[in-house]
Every structure is written in C-alpha cells, then in structure tokens.
Amino acid sequence: MAINKKSMLSLILILISSLLPFPISAPPKGCSFDAIYQLGDSISDTGNLIREAPIGSSSAFARLPYGEAYFKKPTGRCSNGLIMVDFIASALHLPLLNPYLEGDANFTHGVNFAVAGSTALDTSFLAKNKIIVPLTNSSLSVQLGWFKHHLKSICYTQTECAHKLGRALFLVGEIGGNDYIYAFFQGKSIGEIHSYVPHIVQKIKDAARKVIDHGAKTVIVPGHFPIGCLPIYLTAFRSNDPAAYDELKCLKGLNNLAMFHNNHLQRALKQLRKVYPDVTIVYADYYTALQWVLSHAPSLGFEDKSLQKVCCGIGGDYNFDLTKECGSPEVPVCPDPETRISWDGFHLTEKAYKYMADFLMHSIMPEIQCAI
C-alpha cells in the first residue's frame, strides 16, 4: 500500500481540521429553517421525561451530575451537557429546543417532543409481547399526538400549517433503541428481536409520513448507533471469545442487529422518497458517526486506554453496573469527562455528541441546502 502511517495521520488531521472548529459561516439561501421539531428518545430529550409524573420526575436524569458541564444543573438531557440536537440547532442559528411538556416555554422556533425511555412501538404492542416499558408510555405515536395538538396552537387551516411546517426541519428519531434494550434485558432471544425490526422500522416510516402529510418538506431520520459499542451491552454480553469482538472492541452480533435495522430503515426511506419526490428525506448515519469518533478517539482528545469506560459509573470492565446508575449518590463521576466517550453507559458525553454532530452535519447540511 502506498499510504504509510505518516500520510495516514496527516490525512486524518486534514479531515479533522476541515470539520473543526465548528463552522460559523452564514447559511446560504434555501437554508432558512425557522423551527425544528424533534421526535425521539433519550438521545434527543431536552426535558420531557423529567416532567412526567410519577416516574420521570424522580428519574436519575433529573439530578446532577446530568447537565453539570454546560448547564450547571440537570435539564433532563441525558448527558453531562449538550446533546446532538443542540448542536444542530446552533448550526442553523436557532435557539436550543424547549421540551413540549414545559407548558409555558417559548415554542417560536420549534418543539422537542422526544422522551427519554420511549419506544418506537406502542407500549400496548410491547405488552402483548410481554415486554414491560419501565419509564414512560410516551411512545412515538403519543409524541405524534402531541405534535398534532401543538399544531392547533400555531396554525388554523391545513394550508397555513403546511406553509409553516414547510420552513421547519423535522428530526424523526433516533427512536427504537429502547425497544431493543427492553427486549434484550427482559430475556428475548436475538432471533425474536430481529423479528421486531420490520415493525419498528414501519413505525418510524409511518411517523415520517405523518409529518410530511402535515406539510413537512425536510425530514431527517437517524439510524441506530453501533449498539455493540455501548458499555451497557458490552457489560451485559461480555464474551471470553475474542471472535465476538470487532476491531473497535465492539460486540459484532449486536452491531449486526443495528446494521440490520439501519438497512431496513434506509430501504424504507428510499420508498418514501419515491412517494414524496418534493420532500427532502435524509438518513442520518449515527452508526458511522460513532464509529468515526471511536476510531479517531486519540486524535480527538479521548483517552485511548479507557476508550469504552463510562465516565459516570462504577464497577466491571467498563466502569458500568446496571444496578448502580449515574445520578445515585454512591456513583462517582470521572474527573475528565471531555476525555471520555460514554457518559453513563447508555448515553454519550457532550464532547462525543459534539464530534458526532460535526461528522453528521458534514453530510447532512449540503443535503438540506445549508452551508457548513
């Protein structure tokens, strides 16, 4: 091969410097979103779950150290600071999105309907399959109900709503990650879980179709993380067989499930684009984004030796124990969260989310006619 180590390194550095610092150039014509509407789970919740009684309001996300890095207080974001949708909002020169359940919040520039712990499938459907949803019943369909309700407060006729929504950016997901977590941790087999994939993808596709039918013209639909790289899965499905791991030390079988989901989702989006040729439907590749962060960890400032170790956690190979959650008094926080990728075993640190968002926006912004 002609590429030696040194030229590889400079290639990586060029790539990084072309992504960073975060671009501040003015968006060109065409990129004039005046609102963002977000549906999803804890990857994008900015404060809904902690406003749900009785479980959400006493959840760990309502306590420090969640939010300690940026906000200095918990906001309901499942990280130490900002999350991806915050970076996307900033890139579009919009304020941070308020959560729908903050009743008196300002929704001039959009609403965040995402709820931590929520599922793509209805909780009644999951209950029929003997899967209990512990945190919230505010699944994707419930969030769509909230969206419809909210519409009544911002527009009066279908045409007026369509006109308004045409200038907004819609983020449908990530969602479905919890459906898989609950199934795995309630003892379902990988075969059975694979059989849920078409149902979950159908729900996401239906949600995208619904917002488009209301007038959305730009819809971003994220895929799944490489879940085999998350400490919650790495801990629960730890293996003594080296062949179970890939080159990034992630569990292959779980990553295969995520890829299977993502392939299904991308096929579904292709079909949607045919039905709605005048709508911009963009797939956000969270899978590759996190792999990129993991594979460039040292040059991005992450500590290589403890790459998969959780910052806010305790115990085991990954500093993670499902029974000792971040936010409990006995669970310590690492002194240097900006050198860690995983915040609490499920969710990432602000720093990791920032790099993921940078990576994603590099491909998404041109597709939605925005400058980077």
Ligand X SMILES: *[C@@H]1O[C@H](CO)[C@@H](O)[C@H](O)[C@H]1NC(C)=O
The values of phi and psi at residue 179, to 5°, are -55, -45
Amino acid at 252: K
Options 118, 139, 347, 358, the catalytic residue? 347
**DSSP assignment, residue 23?**
P
Residue 337, preceding bond cis, omega within 30 degrees?
A: no
Active site residue 344: yes
Q: Which is nearer to ligand X, 97 or 144 (CB)?
A: 97
- Decide whether 123 or 235 has the Cβ nearer to ligand X: 123
Residues 185, 254: Cα–Cα separation, whole Å = 13
Contact status: 106 vs ligand X (CB under 6 A): yes
- Residue among 137 and 186 whose Cβ is closer to ligand X: 137
Q: Select 142 or 322, whichever has its Cβ closest to ligand X.
A: 142
Could you tell me if residue 110 is left (phi over 0), alpha (psi between -120 and 50 degrees) or otherwise beta?
Answer: left
Pairing of strands 35-39, 110-112: parallel
Q: Where are the alpha helices (DSSP H) in 92-189?
A: 123-128, 140-154, 158-165, 177-185
Q: In whole angstroms, how close is the CB of 126 to ligand X at the nearest point?
A: 10
Token readout for 143 is: 């969030």
Smallest gap from residue 111 Cβ to ligand X (A): 12
Q: For residue 13, state whether it binds ligand X (rule: CB under 6 A).
A: no
Q: How far is the CB of 135 from ligand X (least distance, A)?
A: 6
Structure tokens at 25: 């150039």
Of 45, 86, 344, 358, the active-site residue reads 344
Work out how close the CB of 109 gets to ligand X at its nearest, in angstroms, rounded to a whole number.
6
Q: Which is nearer to ligand X, 40 or 222 (CB)?
A: 40
What separation in angstroms does the CA of 173 have from each of 9, 37, 184, 283, 347?
34, 11, 20, 10, 15
Binding to ligand X (CB under 6 A) within 57-96 occurs at: 95
Q: Which is nearer to ligand X, 122 or 206 (CB)?
A: 122
What tokens were used for 271?
Answer: 């079909």
Please choose, from the candidates 262, 277, 347, 280, the residue with its C-alpha nearest in 3D space to the C-alpha of residue 311: 347
CA angle 298, 301, 307 (to 5 degrees): 55
Contacts of ligand X in 137-156 (CB under 6 A) = 137
Residues 10, 131: Cα–Cα separation, whole Å? 49
Interaction residues for ligand X, span 120-139 (CB under 6 A) = 123, 135-137
Please tell me whether residue 98 binds ligand X under the rule CB under 6 A.
no
Residues contacting ligand X: total by CB under 6 A: 8
Q: Nearer to ligand X by C-beta: 109 or 264?
A: 109
Q: How far is the CB of 160 from ligand X (least distance, A)?
A: 19
What lies within 8 Å, CB to CB, of 87 at 6+ separation is 22, 353, 354, 357, 358, 361
**Among residues 9, 14, 20, 55, the one that binds ligand X under rule CB under 6 A:** 55
- Select which of 42, 44, 79, 139 is catalytic: 42
The residue among 35 and 334 lying less far from ligand X, judged by its C-beta, is 35
| Contact call for residues 137 and 123 (beta carbons, < 8 A) | yes
State the nearest-atom distance from the C-beta of 119 to ligand X, in Å.
11
Q: What values do phi and psi take at 364, rounded to 5?
A: -75, -45
Yes or no: say if 44 and 171 are a contact pair by the CB < 8 Å rule. yes
Tokens standing for residue 184: 């795995």
x/- string (CB under 6 A) for ligand X, residues 279-318? ----------------------------------------
CB of 107 to ligand X, least distance (A): 8
Task: Give the shortest CB-134-to-ligand X separation in angstroms.
Answer: 7
In whole angstroms, what is the distance from residue 367 CA to residue 100 CA?
28
Q: Which of 10, 57, 108, 299 binds ligand X (CB under 6 A)?
A: 108
The answer to whether residue 42 is catalytic is yes
Active site residues: 42, 344, 347
Catalog residues that contact ligand X under the rule CB under 6 A: 55, 95, 106, 108, 123, 135-137
